[in-house]
Amino acid sequence: MALYSDIVMDHFRNPRNVGVIENADGVGEVGNAKCGDIMKIYLRIEDDIITDVKFETFGCGSAIASSSMATEMIKGKPLSEALALTNKAVAEALDGLPAHKLHCSVLAEEAIKSAVRDYYDKHGIAYDVKQFPDCEHCGHCDSQCDCH
Amino acid sequence: MRIYADNAATTKMSQRAIQAMLPYLDQIYGNPSSLHTEGQQAAEALANARARIAARLGCSPREITFTSGGSEADNQAILSAAKMGERKGKKHIISTAFEHHAVLHTLQALEKQGFEVTLLDVHEDGMVSAQQVEQAIRPDTCLVTVMYANNEVGSVQPIAEIGRVCRQAGVIFHTDAVQAVGHLPVHVERDNVDMLSLSGHKFHGPKGIGALYVRRGIALQNLIYGGAQERGKRAGTENIPAAVGMAEALDEAWEGMEEHMRHLVMMRERLIEGLSQIPHCALNGHRDQRLPGNVSFCFEGIEGESLLLLLDDKGIAASSGSACTSGSLDPSHVLLALGRPHEVAHGSLRLSLSAENTMEEVEYMIAAITEVVGYLRSISPVWRDLELGKKEFVLK
């Protein structure tokens, strides 16, 4: 389908890092079923390095592809790099997303940040809350639902 | 191999309709408004197409106006009835919550002009009753517009009963019959209809042509001003090839209707039976009062667009009422009108069959859909929560 780039379709058809990590060090879930997409990210963290990452996604093709790409981009990376990951970088790595699907890449960024924050919370690690805005305002849910 | 199961969106043109159109592209290409032989041949073809369509619907040819399609017919019917009502001080219109946007958005435009619109609730089985219409009619009601059959969930409305109620109350009754004409034995007299919209490409005719039936005595309001075509009610040089193609397709559909219905219902019933085996799903729309070729399901825990993309990979062309496929944020207003919660409406799938589909294709579709739904659930956090009992299933 011409709706999506070849890279999006590849990550949608063959998603990387699908699954669950039992007793994960950090778990983040964002989105709302009412809006039609939920992403859940599981992190295994050793010495500040993301040694393993898995995801589960309820959503459209670009939501699944965005989760897959985002997990690839942070796997094996230090937490600082994961926190620096932007939705724009995810969308660019996917060779672009249609305008009305950009919120999928926003969700991916948020899901990762949410999982890192969960790790910090669970392990009593201090952090600057400003690193974790409640919602990157993408406009997706404005009038529709009570996401995030 | 490709399996086309999106015939409610549009159909493949029939060979008969294509062949019927061809002479009007390069041999009989005159303008029906012209006095010369070429023009008069075209005028004759147009009159012939109009007469054939009228004969099928049970009306007179002068009650048929050609339009660019179903949307234009809906717009013109509703705006015309509203104009007539306004002259008498009647500015109330009754419709339903699950109409096509061609109807709903026209009604919204009228609301901005001071009309009051009552949208009847749709029962969870996709039906609206004549009693509901009767109770909603007021002294200032100028129009009732209820679709013949719903495009998404396939439920066929009690049109003749609704028409009777309207007639008794002296209110104009319009029906958007775009999904019904060519598939059900629609008849404007038997169905007590005053205005009816139809579209050529929904029954293997060409795109870009439709028609509006208007009972004599109801004044049409122009949407397009210009020449005197269509008795002055729809300006612009007539699309003769398309009109001829639509008439041919309608004749063909009518001739094969009973046989097609038997074949379609057999495939539909097998699909419903097969897909019902998937846990936590539900059929949308009435179990029996439904279009012969319509199958509509919601599957809990998954999202429709990813389902469609994976089915497309497996060679199946289907559709969904999920928000992602519509480009809007809300899932289908039809499924919401039936009371499906948002999260369930996102996981919808519509298969709309034609007589060209086969039982082999049906079996393949059941297997493919079962597999894809299972896969998408296996990667869905929503499904995991449902299975772990963290959330309650909506669909049993």
Express as a percent the part of chain B with pLDDT over 70.
98
Domain that holds residue A101: 9-122
| Residue A104: active-site member | yes
Answer yes or no: do B160 and B236 share one domain.
Answer: yes
Residue A141, pLDDT score: 52
* Nearest C-alpha neighbor of B320 from the set B280, B354, B348: B348
Per-residue pLDDT averaged across B337-349, rounded?
Answer: 95
**Nearest CB partner across the interface for B342, out of A34, A60, A64:** A34
> For chain B, what is the mean pLDDT?
97
The residue out of B254, B274, B306 marking a domain boundary is B254
CB contact under 8 A, A57 and B323: no
**Nearest CB partner across the interface for A56, out of B310, B322, B381:** B381
| Residue A35: active-site member | yes
The residue out of B222, B239, B254 marking a domain boundary is B254
Answer yes or no: do B247 and B340 share one domain.
Answer: no
pLDDT for B392 beyond 60: yes
- The answer to whether position A16 is within a domain reads yes
- The answer to whether position B244 is within a domain reads yes
CB B79 within 8 A of CB B104: no
Answer yes or no: do B194 and B267 share one domain.
Answer: no
**Nearest CB partner across the interface for A144, out of B322, B324, B329:** B329
CATH of the domain at B329: 3.90.1150.10
Answer yes or no: do B239 and B275 share one domain.
Answer: no
Residue A134, pLDDT score: 63
Per-residue pLDDT averaged across B263-279, rounded?
Answer: 98
Tell me the C-alpha distance between B356 and B5, whole Å.
10
Domain that holds residue B143: 15-254
> What tens digit of pLDDT does each residue of B60-106 get?
999 999 999 999 999 999 999 999 999 999 999 999 999 999 999 99
- The answer to whether position A74 is within a domain reads yes
- The answer to whether position B123 is within a domain reads yes
Answer yes or no: do B245 and B279 share one domain.
Answer: no
**B343 touching chain A per CB within 8 A:** yes
Residue A3, pLDDT score: 87
CATH of the domain at B147: 3.40.640.10
Answer yes or no: do B140 and B272 share one domain.
Answer: no
CB contact under 8 A, B303 and A60: yes
Residue A144, pLDDT score: 43
Answer yes or no: do B87 and B136 share one domain.
Answer: yes
**Nearest CB partner across the interface for B324, out of A19, A33, A36:** A36
- The answer to whether position B28 is within a domain reads yes
CB contact under 8 A, B329 and A59: no
- The answer to whether position A104 is within a domain reads yes
The residue out of B254, B271, B304 marking a domain boundary is B254
DSSP string computed for chain A = -TTS-HHHHHHHHS-TTBS--TT-SEEEEEEETTTTEEEEEEEEEETTEEEEEEEEEES-HHHHHHHHHHHHHHTT-BHHHHHH--HHHHHHHTT---GGGHHHHHHHHHHHHHHHHHHHHHTT----GGGS-S----STTTTT----
Count how many residues are written for chain B.
396
- The answer to whether position B327 is within a domain reads yes
Residues from A in contact with B at Cβ < 8 Å:
1, 9, 12-13, 15, 18-20, 29, 33-40, 56-61, 63-64, 100-101, 140-141, 143-145
- The answer to whether position B8 is within a domain reads no
Q: How many interchain CB pairs under 8 A, A with B? A: 76
Contacts of B340 in chain A (CB under 8 A): none
Our CA-based measurement puts residue A118 at a distance from the nearest CA of chain B, in whole angstroms, of: 17
Q: Which residues of chain A have pLDDT under 50?
A: 136-137, 142-148
pLDDT class for B321, splitting at 50, 70, 90? confident
- The answer to whether position B210 is within a domain reads yes
- The answer to whether position B238 is within a domain reads yes
Active-site residue, from A60, A104, A135, A141: A104
The ipTM assigned to this model is 0.91
Compute CA distances B250 → B141, B198, B301, B367, whole Å.
33, 11, 41, 34
What is the total count of domains within chain A?
1
Output the furthest CA–CA distance in chain B (Å, rounded). 78
In this prediction the pTM is: 0.94
Answer yes or no: do B239 and B307 share one domain.
Answer: no
Answer yes or no: do B311 and B383 share one domain.
Answer: yes
Answer yes or no: do B224 and B326 share one domain.
Answer: no
> What tens digit of pLDDT does each residue of B36-69 get?
999 999 999 999 999 999 999 999 999 999 999 9
pLDDT class for B210, splitting at 50, 70, 90? very high
What is the total count of domains within chain B?
2
Contacts of B341 in chain A (CB under 8 A): 34
Query: At B127, is the secondary structure helix, strand, or coil?
Result: coil
- The answer to whether position A25 is within a domain reads yes
Answer yes or no: do B250 and B321 share one domain.
Answer: no
CB contact under 8 A, A36 and B331: yes
> What tens digit of pLDDT does each residue of B25-43 get?
999 999 999 999 999 999 9
Residue B77, pLDDT score: 98
CB contact under 8 A, A61 and B309: yes
CATH of the domain at A67: 3.90.1010.10
